[in-house]
Structure 1
Amino acid sequence: MPYDEKNPLRQLSLDELRLRTSAKWRTYPPDVLPLWVAEMDVPVAEPVVRALTDAIALGDTGYPVGTGYAEALDAFARQRWDWDGVVAERTAIVPDVMLGVVEMLKLVTGPGDAVVVSPPVYPPFFPFVEHMDRRVLEAPLGDGHRIDPAALEAAFRQAVAGGRRAAYLLCSPHNPTGTVHTAEELAALAELANHYGVRVVADEIHAPLVMPGTRFVPYLSVPGARGAFSLMSASKAWHLAGLKAALAVAGPAATDDLARLPYEVSHGPGHLGIIAHTAALRYGGEWLDTVLTGLDENRRLLSDLLARHLPDVRYERPEGTYLAWLDCRALGLGDDPAAFFLERGRVALISGIGFGTGGAGHVRLNLATSPEVITEAVRRMAAALERG
């Protein structure tokens, strides 16, 4: 693989990556190309390495304190999204985004209440909600993988029937489709949520990962979203999943709710995780831009490769995230084509089944790797089909 110092996605060889001991590289045998779980095949950004190295050298490995993470996210949000809604007094440190989602849902719903989601959507949404004794209601995405107002309204009406409390768990940008919701779509969501008294909790973990030509709109920035919550983190954009930390951000009208968050929740994230995330947000912008350029090249490459070698696979280039959602239904591989590509092609992808309605017959592919790996993965998938 040609080394490219300007593209972090082309700086590590397969041999180097296979030395990693994380889930992506140790779940499957060495002959499998792993393009499944959301880890990036990049070295860690130098500002993050420096911050962690300095902390270790100082023995700065105690308990976290202060609002540095929130202040760094505030500065990043102002610069990238022209948004001033990350006010430190309206934030709370949480262990990670999904555990933060759970805690926000606990603040605004009770046992047996409904949480609406829009599938196909990030699979942990379902078990995390059900484990906290809430009901999942689906409002599937509509045409073009966009939010469907009619489906939302029907689900909201059902969710609040009998005077029950309810919430909507928004995925923005949307995983797995890569849809980046527009300001108009989010404002329409807020209007519906307010009409039915549904509280919105937004998982915005992929917010920094928006492709050129597309604008990310923080949910809390749209009219009518003052009573909502957002969960944000540097983990996806800077490859920091193993350094857990996230922020819950409350809208101005949700401040009192956030104040009820149990004190012990903020004991989950580690000090080194917060140091890493803070450094990424404050000093990792240039590195992120190089990654986004590489991801944009990869999503275009995948489009070309599929057109040449797997023309029956439908693929819309994602506007955000580093995930590709592939519609394989025309291949005749049944509900779980990922199983076929793993067994016959030695390529590990995420099965679409777990993403809920609209997921069967699909796979999710991780674009955060080198062009050479993507090229080899598509070659293997096509060869597997030819062999039958």
Structure 2
Amino acid sequence: MSAATPLRALPLDILRERTSTKWRRYPHDVLPLFVAETDFPLAPPIARALARAVEIGDTGYTPPEPGIAAAYAGFARRRFGSEIDPSRVRTTCDVMMGVVEILRLVIEPGDRVIVTTPVYPPFFDCIPEAGGVVERVPLTDAGAGWELDLLGVEAALAGGARAVLLCNPHNPTGTVHSRESLAALADLAADYGASVISDEIHAPLIHPGVTFTPFLDASATAAQVGYSVTSASKAFNLAGLKCALMVTATDETAALVRTLPVEVEWRTGLFGAIAAVAAFSEESDEWLDSLLATLDENRRLLADLLAEHVPRAKYRVPDAGFLAWVDLTDLGWGENPAVKVLRDAKVALHLGPQFGDEGSGHVRINFGCSPDVLREAVTRMGTLASS
């Protein structure tokens, strides 16, 4: 099989016609590399499916069986070697809504829920929304990368925490947790009667040489204690269309998720369902492979650019996704360096402290863009660093 041809990003003048957050949050003189939107054209099968829906006025209610479960089961088999029973899949509006609804099933009000910081900022909001209390167990810096602090997780569970909200692959570090660490996490959850909810929205974006293990596949125990929530929205840039999947692996966990009110499923957007079916189809695999080829080049390009222009920055090339976790502490730009970068370099990066205390001095950079945009953004940062 030949290597995929890298996907070209849309030109800036076209991108600035978009009305999404990435392109309307800041003035046109700012390069936006903050929110997790990408700059590429839609996968052709998705564009065709949506265009046809508009053409025939297919804008009504989402049907009970839009075909997403079967489409995702095929996708998971092709991309991860994972076997999913479509009858154990339900849909909802977005991943965080799915997380909240499952948390409400597995915890009681006031229960503590473990998060492995630095982590996706909405985790800190969705746990209280579900009635829980956030308990931080930071990732361990293992030198070459980050790992789950299993001893810290065990201490939190022994102290009464009732669930773990996992990010796999991890946002913002791009870490892909090993099968062994996921299985060990599952064993701990089982020992203490806790549940694991795994946000796997970045799973389609695994880089070459890295193996992704869905949490539910890590072990038989993981299947028993776990729930997975995912979506096509990150890989295929569909966040505005509102569709996510809640996946289970046993009769018991599936039965629990089926107790959720039908309204939870009604929140699935019809265009989100149509787009997800097209995204998860085999027809979209070629586009996804091209996207991954581009992101693989960009994650390495970012390393070279930072070494050249901002040599005091610390960056580890991520295992997955299009988000880079960069430590700018040594530049002396304060605990929230993205503020200075925006003000003085006109580059919008995600605010590190929003990911937890471990984000002090850090920024998150979205490299899901053209190499030229990435080069210009880092060059601006370099000019700021040398001034």
- Tell me if TM exceeds 0.5: yes
1:81 and 1:176, CA in 2 relative to 1: closer, same or farther beyond 3 A? same
Unaligned runs of 5+ in 2: none
Partner of 1:297: 297
Partner secondary structure for residue 216 of structure 1: coil
In the TM superposition, residue 306 of structure 1 has moved relative to its aligned partner by 0.9
Partner of 2:288: 288
Partner of 1:163: none
Equivalent position to 2:212, from 210, 216, 240: 216
Residue 115 of structure 1 contacts residue 159 of structure 1 at CA under 8 Å; is this kept in 2?
no
Residue identity matched to 1:186: L
Q: Deviations over 1:288-324 (max 9, x none)?
A: 0000000000011011111111111000000001100
Partner of 1:199: 195
In the TM superposition, residue 6 of structure 1 has moved relative to its aligned partner by 4.4
In the TM superposition, residue 197 of structure 1 has moved relative to its aligned partner by 1.1
Residue 169 of structure 2 contacts residue 176 of structure 2 at CA under 8 Å; is this kept in 1?
yes
In the TM superposition, residue 159 of structure 1 has moved relative to its aligned partner by 2.8
Mapped partners of 2:178, 2:317: distance in 1: 16
Q: Deviations over 1:80-129 (max 9, x none)?
A: 11110x21211111111000000000010121111110000000000111
Partner secondary structure for residue 275 of structure 1: helix
Partner secondary structure for residue 230 of structure 1: strand
Partner of 2:160: 159
Structure-to-structure mapping, 1:117-136, within 5 angstroms:
117-136=115-134
In the TM superposition, residue 372 of structure 1 has moved relative to its aligned partner by 0.5
Partner secondary structure for residue 50 of structure 1: helix
In the TM superposition, residue 67 of structure 1 has moved relative to its aligned partner by 5.1
Residue 101 of structure 2 contacts residue 130 of structure 2 at CA under 8 Å; is this kept in 1?
no
Partner of 1:40: 38
In the TM superposition, residue 44 of structure 1 has moved relative to its aligned partner by 0.7
Q: Which moved more, 1:369-378 or 1:249-258?
A: 249-258
TM-score (norm 1): 0.95
In the TM superposition, residue 335 of structure 1 has moved relative to its aligned partner by 0.4
Partner secondary structure for residue 196 of structure 2: strand
Partner of 2:349: 349
In the TM superposition, residue 175 of structure 1 has moved relative to its aligned partner by 0.1
Q: Deviations over 1:335-357 (max 9, x none)?
A: 00000100110000001101113
Residue 103 of structure 2 contacts residue 130 of structure 2 at CA under 8 Å; is this kept in 1?
no
Partner of 1:177: 173
Residues 1:234 and 2:232 aligned together: yes
Mapped partners of 1:383, 1:74: distance in 2: 48
In the TM superposition, residue 74 of structure 1 has moved relative to its aligned partner by 0.2
> Share of identical aligned residues, percent?
49
In the TM superposition, residue 255 of structure 1 has moved relative to its aligned partner by 1.8
Partner of 1:225: 222
Residue identity matched to 2:158: R
Partner secondary structure for residue 229 of structure 2: strand
Residue 61 of structure 1 contacts residue 272 of structure 1 at CA under 8 Å; is this kept in 2?
yes
Partner of 2:264: 265
Residue 36 of structure 2 contacts residue 366 of structure 2 at CA under 8 Å; is this kept in 1?
yes
Residue 80 of structure 2 contacts residue 212 of structure 2 at CA under 8 Å; is this kept in 1?
yes
Structure-to-structure mapping, 1:308-323, within 5 angstroms:
308-323=308-323
Mapped partners of 1:173, 1:155: distance in 2: 22
In the TM superposition, residue 11 of structure 1 has moved relative to its aligned partner by 3.8
How many pairs align?
A: 376
Q: Deviations over 1:138-162 (max 9, x none)?
A: 11100222111111111111234xx
Residue 94 of structure 1 contacts residue 245 of structure 1 at CA under 8 Å; is this kept in 2?
yes
In the TM superposition, residue 59 of structure 1 has moved relative to its aligned partner by 2.1
Partner of 2:372: 372
Mapped partners of 1:340, 1:11: distance in 2: 27
Mapped partners of 1:215, 1:87: distance in 2: 22
Partner secondary structure for residue 104 of structure 2: helix
Residues 1:189 and 2:185 aligned together: yes
